[in-house]
Structure 1
Amino acid sequence: MSDTARAIRRVYLACEFLPADPTVRGLVSIGLTDDAGRDYYAVNNDMDFTAVLDVPWMVDDVWPWLPRCTADGYPYLLDRVHPDVKLIKEIRDEVAMYFACGPPETHLYAACGGQHIHRLHSLWDNHWEVMPSAVPRWFHELWSLAVQAGNPPLPERPRREHHALTHARYYRTLHERLLTLTACPRCGGDGFRPARGFHRTPAGRQWAAPPRIGCVDESPATRRVPEDHGYPPYRPDTGSDRSTRLPTRQMHSVVCDVCAYVYDEDGDGILVFVDPEEAVRDVLRHHWMCLTDGRAICPRDDEEHRAVYDELMPPEPGAGGDERIPPDEEIDERIPPDEEIDERIPPDEER
């Protein structure tokens, strides 16, 4: 292993948190460990206890590993006097001190660690100018290193033990296993491409990424350079040598709205028309039906088409159940005025 690799401190991070709460109240616990075995663990006394206890899997897998008050029969009360339970301000100061004590160059590692490093940075409200320079700004993803190694068999992960420090220690074991498969035998390193200056602020620049330095091939073998095949040099396309675009025109085709048959009565392929009026005239010659709402129906005689034709036919007289006689056919059974019988006694017959 090179002197550069020995001067790098490897820190492994794991957090327990509420996925729906990205603030510090969503942080349950944080665990840190490094390659020298220095550990840090803290439980957030300012967490949202109600939200944590509303998540069933956190009650079953996370809460049992936290310091709890069980003497009085209250397993869902956090032991606030336990030394691991701390205020968020204490956690922030102690985490900053943890990263400050050690070599000036620190590499941070985690597995699926996007949320984990976010919880770490949330101790300073994700404000990099306020966050101490010793705290890493980014991390190495261990699962990507496992993929680069060909997804080899990995150490067994602790089951149902959602403890931040236990997970951080597992990440260290996982990385040590992957180093045996991916680390450069000459320069050591962390299994990824060798680099220098990680997480250090260059003078005069704010959080600029340092240059990467790879392994140098010092073998006496002759280097292979690309052969010159006589290809012309690349010239950017300025648009001057582009072929002229031909004018385009919108064409129309006819499709049956019942069976999706494309109008092709001549059998020479899909017929297209310059305008819709020409299309209507042509399909009407072949007994198509063109409706006022724009639909077209082919003359195919099957059950589906007949059902559509029946819907378009006007209702038969009396089909609606109204058997009333039209007004012009009503029979007036009243006696006409000239046929009315006056049963009154005439005046000359009165006595």
Structure 2
Amino acid sequence: MRIYYGTEFLDTGTTIELISIGIVVDDGREYYAVNFDAPWQKVAQHDWLMENVVPHLPLVDGIRRGPFGGQPQFQIDPTNVAVKPQWVIANEVREFILSTLEPELWAYYAAYDHVVLAQLWGPMVNLPTGVPMFTCDLKQEHVRLGRPPLPSRDGDEHHALADARHNRTMGTLLEGIARPVELLELVEFDPEEADA
């Protein structure tokens, strides 16, 4: 069964630190968590994350400007049910994925998402048994199918759960396009040409 997910993370060039993760399964289940252990001071120094990701997170009193126009300040709301230590997120995500029959991971521009997902459990060799070792890429599927029009967004980009929901919408659309294309490829297959 397809599992669509999205992550937000801090990419320092040497590490990728999880900020939040959203997961949506074809059976309707959803999961969302914000990493209490993320390097929030480094996040506050990252203009793009401050503009695009932090406003979607559960905050105490929003984002405030520092004194004299200094660095923006914010505090993650530790009382919000989505805010959890990374070890809790790792356990919950593992159980969520493993409770899915034949899990198949999907994300949009999936390379970094898979790395940050796998690093929930440390080095890649610690990936729990049963958690897929790769994530299928919706962007690659989109290109493979000739770049059909995709559904637009309504301003909720970079909220991990909203991204996962949108990934499911795109995945369902692309899967519907792929079926007829793959059937057509089977019909057009000529075994005599294959032997030549």
- Establish whether TM, by shorter chain, passes 0.5: yes
Q: Normalized per residue, which structure has more strand?
A: 2
Equivalent residue for 2:61, pick from 59, 70, 76: 70
Bigger Cα displacement from structure 2, 171-180 vs 152-161: 152-161
Per-residue deviation, 1:124: 1.1
Q: List per-residue Cα deviations over 1:193-230 (Å, max 9, x = no partner).
A: 9xxxxxxxxxxxxxxxxxxxxx6x7x9x98424798xx
Equivalent residue for 2:144, pick from 148, 155, 176: 148
Structure of greater relative contact order (alpha carbons < 8 Å, 6+ residues apart): 2
Q: How many residues align?
A: 187
1:113 is the counterpart of 2:110: yes
CA–CA separation in structure 1 for the residues paired with 2:117 and 2:97? 12
Per-residue deviation, 1:131: 2.4
Equivalent residue for 2:36, pick from 28, 45, 49: 45
Partner-residue secondary structure (3-state), 1:16: strand
The residue aligned with 1:17 is 9
What is the TM-score when the length of structure 2 is the normalising length? 0.84
Per-residue deviation, 1:127: 3.2
Partner-residue secondary structure (3-state), 1:102: coil
- The residue identity in structure 2 corresponding to 1:149 is L
Q: List per-residue Cα deviations over 1:11-52 (Å, max 9, x = no partner).
A: 01210001116647x210011111111111100000111111
Structure 1: state its 5+ residue gaps.
1-8, 188-192, 194-214, 229-351
Counterparts of 1:254-333 in structure 2, within 5 Å, are none
Percent identity of equivalent pairs: 31
**Closer, same or farther: CA 119–158 of 1 in aligned 2, 3 Å:** farther
Structure 2: state its 5+ residue gaps.
66-72
- The residue identity in structure 1 corresponding to 2:56 is W
Partner-residue secondary structure (3-state), 1:18: strand
CA–CA separation in structure 1 for the residues paired with 2:159 and 2:195? 57
Equivalent residue for 2:192, pick from 205, 217, 224: 224
CA–CA separation in structure 1 for the residues paired with 2:117 and 2:87? 13
Does structure 2 conserve the Cα–Cα contact (< 8 Å) formed by 1:62 and 1:162?
yes
Q: Normalized per residue, which structure has more helix?
A: 2
1:126 is the counterpart of 2:126: no
CA–CA separation in structure 2 for the residues paired with 1:107 and 1:12? 8
CA–CA separation in structure 2 for the residues paired with 1:39 and 1:21? 30
Q: List per-residue Cα deviations over 1:102-146 (Å, max 9, x = no partner).
A: 21x111111111100100000111333x32212111011111111
Partner-residue secondary structure (3-state), 1:162: coil
What is the TM-score when the length of structure 1 is the normalising length? 0.49
CA–CA separation in structure 2 for the residues paired with 1:163 and 1:50? 20
CA–CA separation in structure 1 for the residues paired with 2:121 and 2:79? 25
Partner-residue secondary structure (3-state), 1:93: helix
Does structure 1 conserve the Cα–Cα contact (< 8 Å) formed by 2:3 and 2:106?
yes
CA–CA separation in structure 2 for the residues paired with 1:53 and 1:10? 34
CA–CA separation in structure 2 for the residues paired with 1:99 and 1:186? 28
- The residue identity in structure 2 corresponding to 1:106 is P
Does structure 2 conserve the Cα–Cα contact (< 8 Å) formed by 1:69 and 1:78?
yes
Q: Root-mean-square deviation (CA), in Å?
A: 2.8
Partner-residue secondary structure (3-state), 1:183: helix
Does structure 2 conserve the Cα–Cα contact (< 8 Å) formed by 1:118 and 1:126?
no
